[in-house]
Structure 1
Amino acid sequence: MNFQTIEVTQQGRVAVVTLNRPEVRNAFNETTIAELTGAFRALGDAPEIRVIVLAARGPAFCAGADLNWMKKMAGYSHEENRADAAQLAEMLRVIHTCPKPVVAKVQGDCYAGGMGLAAACDVAISAQEAFFCLSEVKLGLIPATISPYVIRAMGEQSARRYFLTAERFDADEAKRIGFVHHVVPAAELDAAAEQIVKSLAANSPNALKEAKRLVRDMAGMPLSEALIADTAERIADIRASEEGKEGVKSFLEKRKANWA
């Protein structure tokens, strides 16, 4: 694939999608949105890919929306704004529902829509030096399209504060509220991400896909008889699957599974 605003590379079974607009702090526009959507769809369908890393070049991970794009949007009609927002919402949905585990490697500042990108991933690792900010209300806007993912990541109570105050907060606070999983010095970020990727890549591809779907479907659901029945059906299905049978068999035989 040929891209203008991102790079996609493959390292064995791992694909790395890199935001590549460092001159504008990796702010995204309609081209970036389309390219990220297409890349994650293709990588999600690629059988040789086990894990996807979302990274960025330059000092910032993502500063949110590109200023020139925002200027253009200022003249949009309500219908044009809705169509434009729908494309951003679809990009986030595609990343969030990607059948492969996605690791966000946040090497620098992560603002506004950039927080949506990180929150749509399954695992987020941040450099100690990074800062975070949901700045939309300062511009008279709200973080609407990113809100389903950011609220799930940081929790309702923290979202009440940071959606409203637009405060800038550091990586330690991002970890405290659950927005990122790990915080390491910048010099250790690659190694920390590599360790997570290695752990993910060793697992059953089908089980990873189904485990992702399990979390999405179960989070926040009431503990009902239907829910309990659903969980029983899922474990029955996965036990009867080829990888499920192979995984148990390899464990009992004390050998590596055939997907390793």
Structure 2
Amino acid sequence: MAEELVHYEVRRGIATITLDSPRNRNALSAQLRRELREHLTEAVRDDQVRVVVLTHTGPVFCSGMDLKEATGASAGDQGVNEFPAILEQLWTSPKPVVAALKGPARAGGVGLVAACDIAVAANEATFAFSEVRIGVVPAIISVTVLPRLLPRQAHELFLTGESFDAQRAVRIGLLNSAVPVDGVDAEVRRYTDMLALGGPVALAATKEMLRQERSANLGEVFADMLKLSAQYFGSAEGQEGITAFVQKRKPSWVPTED
């Protein structure tokens, strides 16, 4: 039986999905892709899970597609047709997803980072859209990356393939935070603790709202948002949150300490 390449653990409502294929720099091999999809599905289906953390073992977060498997393969065989499903799972997950990087990300690995809601990296981490340097196009990852990046920066980095550091990644919108490597876990915990305070139904609805394209007609937008706001103010979760605030207690969805 093949050794597992992606691990899954749930603790205090946090599902941690760990890429563990350091021998090939956590490249997106067929097995790793399959296990990652399975664990993402499991996290979404588990009512006990409130937040998902995507992290890694070894010095590299993810080096992109496994090029050894891609050599001589058709687009379908090398996983190009499968990878969008993984990015879509991350992007549309009703539960917030936090990426935690202590090392570099390249190509498809950067696509994973961009698909997460929040991304934290070590100062030492570097990034690159290296596709053009091997004669391919960063097409699939552009779906999740371009909404994050400043347009001028996207043109430069996609076309040159130049590597850039974590500080620049924060400035251009790819990362939320860059910290010393020994502070990554604490910074991720800071975010997951905050996310766990949100109502799970409200978080899912807020993520959906953030993904929606908005009309140029402000009247229509305000009407839609008024309807959405009223729906959740009157919901069971909304009423529980308001009651808890008035009673100076934690809402029922806030996880208890171990």
Matched, 1:217 2:212: yes
The count of corresponding residues between Structure 1 and Structure 2 is: 253
Structure 2 residue corresponding to 1:126, chosen from 121, 125, 131: 121
Please list every run of 5 or more consecutive structure 2 residues that lacks an aligned counterpart in the other structure.
Answer: none
Instruction: Report the secondary structure of 1:105's partner residue.
Output: strand
Partner of 2:30: 30
**Residue 116 of structure 1: CA displacement?**
0.3
Distance 1:45 1:240 in 2: 25
Partner of 1:244: 238
**Residue 215 of structure 1: CA displacement?**
0.6
Structure 1 residue corresponding to 2:146, chosen from 143, 147, 151: 151
Partner of 1:258: 252
Structure 2 residue corresponding to 1:234, chosen from 228, 238, 241: 228
Report which of the two has the higher share of helix.
Answer: 1
Query: Cα deviation per residue 1:102-134 (whole Å; 9 max; x = unaligned)?
Result: 000011001100000000000000100000000
Percent identity between matched residues is 35
Instruction: Report the secondary structure of 2:164's partner residue.
Output: strand
Please list every run of 5 or more consecutive structure 1 residues that lacks an aligned counterpart in the other structure.
Answer: none
Partner of 2:177: 182
Distance 1:92 1:149 in 2: 7
**Residue 15 of structure 1: CA displacement?**
0.7
> Could you tell me the TM-score, scaled by structure 1's length?
0.92
Distance 1:223-1:165 versus aligned 2 partners, 3 A rule: farther
Partner of 1:204: 199
User: C-alpha root-mean-square deviation of aligned residues, in Å?
Assistant: 1.7
Partner of 2:61: 61
Query: Cα deviation per residue 1:140-166 (whole Å; 9 max; x = unaligned)?
Result: 111111101111111322111110010
Instruction: Report the secondary structure of 2:212's partner residue.
Output: helix
Query: Cα deviation per residue 1:49-105 (whole Å; 9 max; x = unaligned)?
Result: 01110000000000101122221xx332x6x36x93231001100111111100000
